Every structure is written in C-alpha cells, then in structure tokens.
Structure 1
Amino acid sequence: MRLSPYLYVVPFFAVFLVVGVYPMVYSGYLSFFSWPRYGPHHGDPVGFANYAHVLQDPVFHKAFWNTIGIFLLSSVPQVILATVIAAMLDTQLRGRTWWRMSVLLPFVVSPAATALIFGSLFADKTGLVNEVIHAVGLPKVGWHSDRLASWTAIASMVNYRWTGYNTLIILAALQAVSSHLYEAAAIDGAGRVKQFFHVALPSIRPTMLFVIVTSTIGGLQIFTEPRLFDTNLQFQGGADYQYQTLTMYVFNTSNSATDPYPRAAAATWIIVLIIITIALLNFAVTRMIQRRSER
C-alpha cells in the first residue's frame, strides 16, 4: 500500500524522461557542436559559437521583439479579461451553467480552424475587419505587411482560444472562496467591487500566479497562430520577418543549410532562459504586490 502512490506516478515520469528530459539534455549537448552532415568540421566541438551566431543574427532580434510584442498584446489582456469574465460568471446569472460552458467553446475549436476564421477576418484586401474600417472612412490596414497590425491579428487569435480556458481556472478558484469572507466584508459596508478587489483577488493569488506563469510560458512559445497566419507559403513570418516568433525561428533554423540542428538547439536554450527569466520576474512582482497588500 505504501508503494501504490509511487506506482501511479512512475509511468508519467518514465514517459517524461524519454520524451521530455532526454531531448532537452541532448539538444543542450548538440548546441556545442557542429552538425556532422554539414560544414568542414564534421561534428567538432565549437563551444559557444552557435549561441554567438544566434544572438548576433538580426532575424533572431526581430523574432525576439515580435514574440514580446505578441505576448504583451495577448497574455496581458487575456488574463485581465479572463478575470473579469470569471467574476461575472461567479454571480447568480440565469443559465449560468450554459454561460460557463460556452466560454470554453473557442478552446475546443482546432487551431487550424481558428487560423482560417481569423485569416478571413484579417485579410488585407477583402477581410471583414478592413471592410468595416473602410466603411467608416478609414484606410485599410495591411494585416500581413504592417508589423504592429500583424501582432494585433495574431494576438486576437490567441485571446480567442485561451481566454475561456483561463476563465474557468479563475472561476474555480473564486468559487472556493469562503462566503463568510464576503459576508464580513458586506457587514463592513464593502460593495461588490470592493469585495472583489479586497476579498476575492487576495484569496486567489496562487491561482492568479499559476495563470500568469502559464500564460507567460505559452505566450513566449507561440508558434501555431503565426505559422498559420503566414500566407506567402514560405512560413518565415512575413516577407520581412515582421511576425516571425522565436519558436518559428527555431523551426526555420533547423531547416537551414549550415549547422541547422546545433544552431536551432542553441536558439531553443536561449528561449528557455528567456522564459525562465520572465517567469521569475512575474513571480517576484506578484510576491512584492502580495507583501505590500499584507502590510
């Protein structure tokens, strides 16, 4: 009986070691060598040359800022909107079960279908969004050529798919908050808004931290939406790399002619370090806000 909990979790960790840990370790090892099939060195160690090449690559710089821009336009509004919707669904709405189920419907839609829908909405010439913009007397937007516009279109796809998922997580945490806390706040004269900010949000800080961290990781690893948004069939994130992300950079580098896998592996580990740094920054900021509120 004492061993049964371990037997339940061993299969997961065994599979994780094979398909998760081993590829990570091997990619880290490979990033310090040249690829045996290409180049004159035939698999000789090159030290940090692959990392230096990636960090000096102008395309990587564009991919980095593209990823940060799309992340800020998607993850930040997504968490805020999910929190607001969860707070509304935590009230005594009519048919609240139906409303709670409906917010998850966009998450069920496949990424390819989502890309087709939003690709039609944000088409450069005949898209619905441009038609509406043109109808009110404004010039049409080049959603695939303008950098900020392409970020906005891709972020809209991400928000459409993931807002409902985060909403249900936050809603579950809100429903776990004791009603006695709300009653005590109401006796003190706090209204619904004050109860939300001074009772609900402090009570679900661990859940909010989880949502923020996972949204950060997902936002910095975005690949499917910009890849499917690319209509020039070269899949490089626009003619001038205006919406190529870091993960797209890794994919394209792995298909290049010179040392593809070592340089892609080096780019992957750079992305890992970027994600860890931003996740730790999110954690530190959240802890700082929590400590100030406790004072």
Structure 2
Amino acid sequence: MTAPSRTGPGPRRVRRERLGRLRSRSAPYALIAPFFLLFGAFGLFPLVATAWTSLFRVELTAPEAREWVGLHNYARLLHDEFFWNALFNTAAIGVLATVPQLLLALGVAHLLDVRLRARLAFRVVALAPYATSVAAATLVFALLFGRDQGMVNWALGLAGIAPVDWQNGPWASKVAVASIVIWRWTGYNALIYLAAMQTVPRELYEAAALDGASRWRQFLHVTLPGLRPALLFTVLVSTIGATQLFGEPMLFGSGAGASGGADHQYQTLGLYLYEQGWVNLHLGRAAAIAWAMLLILAVVFGAARLLRPVLRGRGV
C-alpha cells in the first residue's frame, strides 16, 4: 500500500508564512517608532512636566521642595503688569516684523521668479541672513542702531532728522528689534514663495495675458491664489516665531539682558519667561508662562480657523 499524500502545507511553512505576515504588518510601525520615541522623550514629556510644574510653587535652587498651589501661578499672571507688558511687546514686535517681512518676501520672490542672470547667486544671497548666527546679526544691528555713533542715526542726520534713541525709546526699540527679524527671515520666506510660484501652471498666465490682464492683475488673480498654502504656512510659522522671540531682544540692549530695556520696553514673553525662571529662579511661574504662551497660540489659531469660512465667503 502507498502512503497517503499530504494535501496541506507543513507546519514549518505555516510558521514562516505567519512570521512573514507579522513582519510585513509590523514593519511600518518599526520604521516610525524612532520618531515617536524621540517625540515622547523630547517633546511630549517636557510638555507634560512643564504643565505639572506650573501647578507648584517651586524654586530653581531647590526643585525638590515643592508646594502645591493649583492654578495660582496662572491667576497671578492675570494681575501681573509685567506679563501684560511682555504680551503687548510680543504682539507689537510680531506685527512690526511679520507684515513687512512677508510683503518684502513676496516682492523678492516675484523678482527672482523672472528670468534673471545669476539667479542662483541671488537666491544664495537671499538665504544668507537666515544662515547667519542670531548673536552675530543682533550685535551688528545693535551697533547700527547706536544712539551716538550708529550708522542709522548718521543717515537720519544727513536727512535733517534728529537722532533717535533706538535702545531706550518705547517704539523705536520695538522697530529696531523687528528690523533684525525682518532682515533674518525675509530671504527664507522669499524662497518658500518662489518655490510655490514655480508650481503655478504657466498656462494660467498665458490665458490671463490673452484676456488683456496686466502683470499686476496676473499677480493678484493668478499668483496669489496659487500661493495660498505657502502664505498660510509662513503666517503660521512667523506667528509662532514672534511668540517665541528671544535671542534678538535678549542681545539687543547693552547690558539690559532679560529685562528688555530699562523700562521693559521691548521685553517679550520669551524674555519674561527666562527672567522669571533663570534670573528670579521662580520655576513654577516660568512654567505657567510657557503654558500661557501655548494657550495664546491655540486661541489665536482657533480664532483664525473659525474666521476662515467667513473670509472665504467674502472672497478673501
């Protein structure tokens, strides 16, 4: 008699197939696991730890000696004139820096989009300020805006304008700090706009030209709609950067440090956080300021998202 033939796969083959399916299913998770591990260690954990610390009265010199205060650190901010001053300075410098910066970036991108000689060299020059150290750029601008021997006041004197105290004036100091931000980030945003401009189909420009549209109308009705995603991205990033502004005002004033001038005239939220946590050593208050900055950004972007349908209905 002959032995019966096996109709199904052997146990080893079944195990290999199961292992193969398991590997194919787990491979994507294994590939993205490093990101989530790093994000959890350096992003999520500090965020949660900061929120927990903000509920205590704790000093940086003795972080183990904690006293539970609940939301007292947040309630204190509502009556803290220095916090509101820093919030106003942050908003003012943010507007003074972001609006001209994005408008200039649009103009630079439009110029780079046309056929110019040495376009690559111009793009490198536009990106050079972004690659410059914050400390080096700020120290140079501090010299330019010097009250007695600064080149800006020298140029104003040639025009018959009296010298301006750029470091101590309430609004002059904000303009000076904003100019550093404009210089550093205009080229970066211009290259983003340039990349977005080059994705707009050229057929749209040709059709608009055949309809008799001028270059200005082509820019308004063809270029800007194509740049909407890039515009939203740069506004988002610029707003976050303005809220976190720290290096430029920190180094601008000679000896002012975290106070942001003698009268706190350009102290931002980032400087106030640093002053509370690492100068006054109030770690719980600094943590509350950090979370207040996050909540402010969430409110701003939430309001902007709610207004989007209204603006779209009006054709904006």
TM-score of the superposition, structure 1-length normalised? 0.92
**Which of these residues, 276, 280, 285, is aligned with residue 302 of structure 2?**
280
The 3-state SS of whatever aligns with 1:35 is strand
- Bigger radius of gyration among the two: 2
Q: C-alpha deviations, 1:218-266, integer Å up to 9, x for none? A: 11110000001021254310011011000110000003557x1111111
Mark the CA change 1:152 to 1:273 in structure 2 (over 3 Å): closer, same or farther: same
Alpha-carbon deviation of 1:36? Answer: 6.5
After superposition, the Cα gap between the structure-2 partners of 1:59 and 1:26, relative to the gap in structure 1 and judged at 3 Å, is same
CA distance, structure 2, for counterparts of residue 115 and residue 37 of structure 1:
29
Deviations 1:58-87 (A, max 9, x none): 111111111111001001111111112111
- 2:147 is equivalent to residue 135 of structure 1: no
Please identify, of 28-37 and 110-119, the stretch whose mean Cα deviation from structure 2 is larger: 28-37
Identity, in percent, stands at 41
Distance 1:209 1:224 in 2: 25
Counterpart residue identity of residue 198, structure 1: H
Q: Distance in 2 between matches of 1:194 and 1:37?
A: 58
Q: What SS does the aligned partner of 1:255 have?
A: helix
Match of 1:71 in 2: 94
Q: Give the Cα separation in 2 of the matches to 1:143 and 1:265.
A: 32
Q: 1:37 to 1:59 in 2, by over 3 A?
A: closer
Relative to structure 1, the CA distance from residue 37 to residue 158 in structure 2 (aligned partners, 3 Å threshold; closer, same or farther) is closer
Match of 2:213 in 1: 190
1:192 CA displacement: 1.4
CA RMSD of aligned residues (A): 2.1
Q: What CA distance in whole angstroms lies between the structure 1 residues aligned with 2:286 and 2:110?
A: 43
CA distance in 1, matches of 2:137, 2:248: 8
1:180 maps to which residue? 203
Q: Could you state the TM-score of these two structures normalised by the residue count of structure 2?
A: 0.86
- Measured in 2, the distance between the counterparts of 1:110 and 1:81 equals 21
Offset at residue 13 of structure 1 (A):
2.4
In 2, the alpha carbon distance for the partners of 1:201 and 1:288 equals 19
Judging changes above 3 Å, is the alpha-carbon distance between structure 1 residues 182 and 291 closer, same or farther for their aligned structure 2 residues? Answer: farther
- 1:209 equivalenced with 2:221 (yes/no): no
Contact 1:216 1:279 in 2 (8 A): no
Q: How many residues align?
A: 292
More off after superposition, 156-165 vs 123-132: 123-132
Aligned partners of 2:110 and 2:158: how far apart in 1?
A: 36
Contact 1:123 1:130 in 2 (8 A): yes
CA gap of 1:3–1:99, structure 2 versus 1, over 3 A, is farther
Any idea what SS the aligned residue of 2:186 has? helix
Unaligned runs of 5+ in 1: none
Deviation above 6 Å: which 4+ runs of structure 1?
36-39
Instruction: Look up the match of 2:314.
Output: 292
Partners of 1:287 and 1:182 lie apart in 2 by 28
Matched with 2:177 is 154
Q: Which moved more, 1:235-244 or 1:277-286?
A: 277-286
> Which residue is 1:271 aligned to?
293
One-letter identity of the residue aligned with 1:293? G
- One-letter amino acid of the structure 2 residue matched with residue 108 of structure 1: A
> What is the CA-CA distance between 1:12 and the residue it aligns to?
2.2
The residue type equivalent to 1:165 in the other structure is Y
Distance in 2, Cα, partners of 1:46 & 1:243 = 30
Q: CA–CA distance in 1 between the matches of 2:142 and 2:159? A: 21
